[in-house]
């Protein structure tokens, strides 16, 4: 009961006040307990309003950042979404309430197993986990309506953009001169539009440091 109360307080204090937050998305947050998705050694931090740094610059995103990402990608019921980096599976679970299919690529086996177990515990059946290199994406099941990189990058990888469907969008947190901002990229033929969404601060994923990348 205490966890349920803490989870509710987290949502009402950190997520509900976000401008533009829909009742549908709030309902997805209320239906899940963030505690289910945290590593066993970090359960006491389940409802903290801060990003939690893991090894190799992996980050458990704070609840409000997860909410901003889920709101900004604006998934429809018939859409598929690719998430690069599972971390805890919490974002995947939230988006499972909106999308038709959620595919998650994760190369860290411990993070993948923890995320998959949390998804199973919550009886979610439209999330698929793939043990693969995050920077490769998942070309085998492309094109995707939406792609989310769960961590910061320095440049937008061309191979990931190529996995978007026509009109598809990529949400990525891009670091430029030490400043990180979430951006939404949309694909129209050979053209890519770019929209800045909000500022945030998280480490750059090692596999998305500047090298073999293509920026728009």
Share of the chain above pLDDT 70, in %: 97
Please state, rounded to an integer, the average pLDDT across all residues of the chain.
94
- Judge whether 215 lies within some domain: no
- Judge whether 213 lies within some domain: no
- Judge whether 137 lies within some domain: yes
pLDDT higher than threshold 70 for residue 1? no
CATH code of the domain containing 133: 3.40.50.150
Q: Say if strands 59-60 and 52-53 run parallel, antiparallel, or are unpaired.
A: antiparallel
- What integer pLDDT is reported at residue 56 of this predicted model? 85
**Is there a contact between 52 and 60 (Cβ–Cβ < 8 Å)?**
yes
- Judge whether 214 lies within some domain: no
Distant-in-sequence, close-in-space partners of 107: CB < 8 Å, separation ≥ 6: 131, 132, 133, 134, 207
Alpha carbons within 13 angstroms on the beta-carbon side of residue 214 total 7
Distant-in-sequence, close-in-space partners of 167: CB < 8 Å, separation ≥ 6: 145, 186, 187, 188
75: exposed, middle or buried (Cβ count in 10 Å: 0-12, 13-18, 19+) = buried
- Judge whether 173 lies within some domain: yes
- Judge whether 79 lies within some domain: yes
Domain count, the chain: 1
- What integer pLDDT is reported at residue 212 of this predicted model? 46
- Judge whether 195 lies within some domain: yes
- What integer pLDDT is reported at residue 213 of this predicted model? 45
**What is the value of pTM for the model shown?**
0.94
Largest CA distance in the chain: 52
Interatomic CA distance for residues 188 and 186, integer angstroms: 7
- Model confidence pLDDT, tens digit, residues 153-195: 998 899 999 999 999 999 999 999 888 999 999 999 989 999 9
- Judge whether 60 lies within some domain: yes
Rounded average pLDDT over 25-33: 97
Full residue range of the structural domain in which residue 184 is found = 2-208
């Amino acid at each position: 009961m205490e966890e349920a109360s803490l989870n509710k307080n987290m949502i009402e204090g950190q997520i509900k006040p976000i401008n533009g937050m829909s009742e549908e998305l709030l309902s997805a947050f209320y239906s899940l307990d963030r505690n289910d998705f945290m590593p066993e050694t970090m359960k006491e931090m389940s409802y903290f309003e801060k990003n939690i740094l893991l090894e190799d610059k992996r980050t458990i995103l704070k609840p409000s950042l997860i909410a901003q990402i889920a709101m900004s990608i604006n998934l429809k019921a018939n859409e598929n979404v690719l998430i690069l980096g599972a971390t805890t599976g919490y974002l995947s679970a939230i988006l499972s309430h909106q999308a038709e299919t959620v595919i998650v690529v994760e190369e860290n086996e411990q993070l993948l197993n923890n995320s998959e177990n949390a998804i199973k515990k919550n009886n979610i059946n439209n999330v698929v986990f793939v043990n693969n290199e995050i920077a490769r994406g998942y070309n085998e099941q492309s094109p995707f309506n939406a792609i989310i990189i769960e961590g910061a990058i320095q440049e937008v990888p061309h191979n990931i953009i190529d996995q978007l469907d026509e009109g598809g969008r990529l949400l990525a947190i891009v670091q430029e001169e030490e400043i990180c901002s979430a951006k939404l990229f949309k694909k129209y033929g050979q053209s890519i539009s770019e929209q800045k969404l909000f500022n945030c601060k998280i480490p750059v994923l090692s596999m998305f440091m500047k090298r073999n990348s293509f920026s728009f």
